Structure 1
């Protein structure tokens, strides 16, 4: 990234520096206001000077008073109503309204009052203004004009009094030389001021951007972060720290002492140990919660480097909930187990098909009932193994295809009606009721995946439901609210699920039944995630006062047609 002070590979001039920094330079704008106030002050002094001269008995010159008054009014109006954006780029209107007016007023007063009062020092004001607020050309041009005016004034006096006017030429030359030196120095200082301010603004913008990025990163960190000084005061904390510590940390006003809560005494002790040893520390600490059991937290501390001796080091404390770490490890293990299971299932499929076919052929030649019973057992268990293999492979396919875009849509009610009736015919299950109340609702769901979803939910309900009429109910509806998303519910009158079972319902290889693969509900969740739907469980009664049951509900994503309405 190239510096703004360079253009096309060539160093910029003083003009370019003021062009870059002046139009937005707050320092130059403040100097402009200062010069405007100085002009008003000088004009006021000139008016008062005329009054003092009159009070001392000197001859009153109405024209000088008028010029001073006009200059005062002009200076005040310029300060009040003119909005100049430095630099002054040439001898244009801004220069005429400020420097030009000053030169005209001071020159006229100098010529009118002759040798009584010397107005030469006042010319320093327009010279400084043009040098600081203008370019090099404007500054040197103004200084040259003032020098020529002083020399012209000396020449005028020489014409009137040739004998005594040589000193005026020397004074004019020395004054002009001094004004040129002042103009160059003032312009150089103004150029440096504009350049340093431009650099400071860029650095401040970069620092602000970096601070915003750091704040965003810290806010979104899953790890808790506390910033603690040597006195044990917490100066910063992110939302994750509040969630992990669980003592209402977010409600405390920063800074606050870390030992304010008894549950945090161990953290405060670890921070003191970090400052005492001047080295990072790591420890696993149980942190009491406002509700529930204590939480095991892994705490790591680091000290910020203290390059500036005027600034003390800070202790940055990182908090990591061990439960989340263990859950992440468990998820990674399950993912690895899933990949391995898919590979094993694929290898088992062909031998299993051969066993099933051989058993069927053998069953055709057997006449002994005992032998036929044995082959029937082989076929039954082979089919069970085949279903487990299919479940494992279905999970693998669902995960691989989760990110694919879906354009297929199905009309929910007719699809559910057909799939439910097909399942009832195949399983010969009695007591299943179908109630559809989402007429005309399209859902973004693959038809085959919807079949797998509904079959898995019905198989799961059938294991635990009773035999009476209505023990299993399949329902569709439109959710309440502005979204009105279609929903599918499978309700059964089975016994309540234990809390331990509810927590792991949708995890792979988890089942409360020994003969189940534990992949049915997990496959349902994977299919729902792929299609933007959500699946959940609750214990409720379908009608007020009716029996409670276990309900698995699916909330579908809005269809493309509904999104365009």
Structure 2
């Protein structure tokens, strides 16, 4: 940058930046000042020759040429000042000024002295150039003064010492002024650079803060003393989403449901202390929204103590999210404990099942038979729960040691589908669409079976009775991205449930262990795949229907091997 290079005495080609604008304005000011000085000299000489009735064409030609030179530079050189270091680039400005003043002083025969105009190029060099340029300009001006003193001594009688002394004092003054002005200019450069640096740092900090606030899961409201919301992030707007097209600034007083937030903000301003409270937003026709609200005041400016500028920052936490998070942590802790318990109860549970089976053989009373069946059903349920809990440890072991195989996705998906449907053909109806064009994927066959069966079981639990309410699809796009998707027309998931779908021990049902989708995610990540949930529309006999879609995106197969199928693969225990 040009202003920075005043300190370094070097500069790349000039390109104006915000920090160069003060110097660009000074450059324009000097150019305009030179035009005004040239115009004044021309008028002064013209009026002087009219009144004195002595025509000296050179005394008119020099100011006129000087005026033309200053006008040309003002028009064509105003976009950027010359490089600050000394060089020929300063000849159209400083060089022309020195030449014009020197010629006027030499040609003039009266008592008028033009040497005071030498201060203009001295100031220009000191402000816009380096110290070397300032001193060089001042030295040239001093030489002109001394030369004029010598010239006068040649054509006049008397002592020349006063004239030389006057020239020396004037030159010394120019040197002092040039040095001081250059120091002020250098300080201006440093201050400008510091201000620009601070401005960029503030802008960067503001961008980072805005990005963080915009992506917070918690709502953030910035409220002034008039209950006007100055800023609100998307999470906060979602909590107040029953108002269409809600964008700040808006007033918290416009909705009666926001009255608790108004009262909390006003209490924060009055007490001048941070506040924490639970609030419930009750809107007609909408479900109540429970919030945990924390309020802080922005710092008070000690210099001005401007209370009117203080703002209240409110953090809104959805109580449902907090409860879900706490529930997930508790379930995770309980899961670790239950894994150990499940391992210990397997043997007693097996003994109960065997004893119940032996007892059932000796009973003939239907009522007693029903009791043994109840014991068997609940024992089997306990066994399944224990197996699900222990599956976490098994999956981790399998993930560590099971190599991936190269599978033809369409073939394996079709075989898994046939096996799954064969257990209950009357109920397990679905649409099978194999569109992966026999693409290869790297995945363990038994792990893929486990993922798809789990997703199909979940879809069967929530779908409708329509024959095309369940769909299994494979797909391969032009970028060779291969995927398999299980879609069903079930009801949409609650947002709090959707965020924790793939977490262990998280379930929206009390009878589920909450491990199925977690195991699916772990198996997919082991093989470089990913699993995700979306709410998508699919064509059915009743038109486009929106439903729940679980999609597994595979990584591209890096090699071709002997195709592994579910028939030749040995499952890992």
TM bucket, shorter chain: 0.7 to 0.9
Is 1:89–1:138's contact at 8 Å kept on the other side of the alignment?
yes
Deviations 1:321-372 (A, max 9, x none): 111111111121222222222233344456667x49x959x99xx9995299
Q: How many angstroms does 1:418 deviate by?
A: 2.5
| Distance change >3 Å, CA 511–CA 87, structure 1 → 2 | closer
Q: What displacement does 1:180 show?
A: 1.6
Distance 1:561 1:180 in 2: 79
Provide the secondary structure at the position in 1 that maps to 2:113.
coil
The answer as to whether partners of 1:413 and 1:438 remain within 8 angstroms in 2 is yes
Question: 1:77 deviation in Å?
Answer: 1.6
> More displaced, 366-375 or 219-228?
366-375
Given the alignment of the two structures, is residue 391 of structure 1 paired with residue 388 of structure 2, yes or no? Answer: yes
SS at match of 2:315: strand
Return the offset for 1:28. 2.0
**Match for residue 77 of structure 1 among 66, 72, 82:** 72
Shift of the alpha carbon at 1:200?
A: 0.9
2:128 match: 133
Indicate the SS of the match to 1:438: strand
Whole-Å Cα distance in 2 between the matches of residues 470 and 228 of structure 1? Answer: 54
- Describe the SS at the equivalent of 1:533: strand
Aligned to 2:571: none
Equivalent positions of 1:346-365 (< 5 A) are 346-349=343-346, 355=351
Out of 310, 315, 338, the residue aligned to residue 335 of structure 2 is 338
1:55 aligns with 2:50: yes
Contact 1:288 / 1:294 at 8 angstroms: preserved in 2? yes
In the alignment, is the contact (CA less than 8 A) between 1:263 and 1:288 conserved in 2?
Answer: yes
Q: Provide the residue aligned with 2:257 in structure 1.
A: 263
C-alpha distance after superposition, 1:384-411 (max 9, x if no partner)? 6544333223345558999999965533
How much is the aligned-residue C-alpha RMSD, in angstroms? 4.8
CA contact (8 A) 2:135 2:175 kept: yes
**SS, match of residue 555 in structure 1:** strand
Deviations 1:442-482 (A, max 9, x none): 4565422221134445666889999x998997743559999
User: CA 1:177–1:429 in structure 2 vs 1: closer, same or farther (change >3 Å)?
Assistant: closer
Contact 1:299 1:319 in 2 (8 A): yes
Distance 1:340 1:536, change over 3 A: farther
Q: 1:404 to 1:116 in 2, by over 3 A?
A: farther
> Larger deviation: 47-56 or 468-477?
468-477
Q: Does 1:281 align with 2:275?
A: yes
- SS in structure 1 of the partner of residue 434 of structure 2: coil
Aligned to 2:449: 451
Aligned to 2:562: none
Q: Provide the aligned length of Structure 1 versus Structure 2.
A: 534
Structure 2 contact 442–557 (Cα < 8 Å) conserved: no
Work out which of the residue numbers 150, 161, 168 in structure 1 matches 2:145.
150
Give yes or no for the alignment of 1:556 onto 2:549: no
- Match in the other structure for 1:8: none
TM-score scaled to structure 1, two decimals?
0.78
> In the alignment, is residue 16 of structure 1 matched against residue 11 of structure 2?
no
d(CA) in 2 for partners of 1:464, 1:150: 101
Q: Which digits, 9 at most, give the CA deviation of each residue in 1:205-239, with x for residues without a partner?
A: 11111111111121112222222223333222221
How far apart, in 2, do the equivalents of 1:29 and 1:538 lie?
59
Name the CA distance, whole Å, in 2 between partners of 1:454 and 1:259: 52
TM-aligned CA deviation for residue 551 of structure 1: 8.5
Tell me which residue corresponds to 2:266. 272
- Paired position in structure 1 for 2:532: 534
Aligned to 1:9: none
Query: Of the candidates 94, 97, 101, which is equivalent to residue 99 of structure 1?
Result: 94
CA contact (8 A) 1:258 1:265 kept: yes
2:28 is equivalent to residue 33 of structure 1: yes
Deviates more, 1:58-67 or 1:104-113: 58-67
Partner of 1:437: 433
Name 2:320's counterpart in structure 1.
Answer: 323
Residue 560 of structure 1 aligns to a residue in which SS?
coil
**Residue ranges of structure 2 left out of the alignment (5+ in a row):** 559-573
Cα contact 2:122–2:178 (8 A) shared by 1: yes
Contact persistence 2:405–2:444 (CA under 8 A): yes
Name the residue aligned to 2:184.
189
Shift of 1:240: 1.5
Cα distance, 1:308 vs structure 2: 3.2
Q: Unpaired runs of 5+ in structure 1?
A: 6-11
Q: Using the alignment, how far apart are the partners of 1:343 and 1:278 within structure 2?
A: 52
1:304 counterpart (295, 298, 301): 298
The answer for the alignment partner of 1:42 in structure 2 is: 37
Question: Of 411, 418, 434, which residue of structure 2 is paired with 1:414?
Answer: 411
Contact 1:87–1:135 (Cα < 8 Å) also in 2: no
Change (3 A) 1:125 1:434: closer
Look up the match of 2:362. Answer: 370
